[in-house]
Amino acid sequence: MSRWFAAIGLLGLSVLVAAPFILGRSNYIFWLKSFPIWHWPASWNLLAGYGGLVFDRPTSFCRLGGYSLFALTIFFGLPPILAVVLAGPIAALCAIPTGWIVFSSKRGLFCYWDLGSSEVYRLTFAQISALGGGSGSSLPTQIVQVSRRRV
C-alpha cells in the first residue's frame, strides 16, 4: 500500500514541477491561488468533523498579543522589541480567566464560549481608536525610528 502512495505522491510532484511549463501563466496562477481555498475546508473537516475540536481561542490570544504590542509602544512609549517580549505574558495573563470560564462550561457550550471569547477580544480592541479601531493601524514612524537609533 505504501508503494502505491509513494507512486501517487511522485506523480503529483512531477505534475507540480511540470505545471508552470504546461499551463499558461494565468492558469498556473489560478491553480496556485485556488489550492489554499481547497485546503481550508479539508483541514476544518479534519479538525471539527473527525476530531470534534472547535477551538478559536488561539486566534483571540494572537489578537490580544498584537494589540498589546501596539498599546505598549503607542501609549507607554516602549521600544517595539521590548513590547514584543511583554505582549506574550499579557496575553497569557488574560488566558487564565478566559480559559477558566470556557473550560468550566458544559460540553455542548464549549464552542460557543470559545467563539464568544474571541469576539469579545476583537470587539474590545476595535473600539480603541488610537489602535486603529476596526480598520487596523501601523506603528507610528517616530516610534520605529527611535527604537532603530537605540539599537
How far apart, in whole angstroms, are the C-alpha atoms of residue 89 and residue 8?
46
pLDDT digits (tens, 9 = 90+) for 80-105: 889 889 998 998 898 888 888 777 77
**Per the confidence metrics, is the pTM higher than 0.75?**
no
- Most confident option among 5-19, 44-58, 101-115, 125-139: 5-19
How far apart, in whole angstroms, are the C-alpha atoms of residue 67 and residue 70?
5
What is the Cβ-side half-sphere exposure of residue 124, based on CA atoms within 13 angstroms?
12
User: For the chain, what is the radius of gyration of the CA atoms?
Assistant: 22
Grid coordinates belonging to 119: 469576539
Query: Which helix H or strand E contains 87, and what residues bound it?
Result: helix 80-103
Going by pLDDT thresholds of 50, 70 and 90, the confidence category of residue 107 is low
pLDDT digits (tens, 9 = 90+) for 6-24: 999 899 889 888 888 888 8
pLDDT of 32: 78
Grid coordinates belonging to 73: 509602544
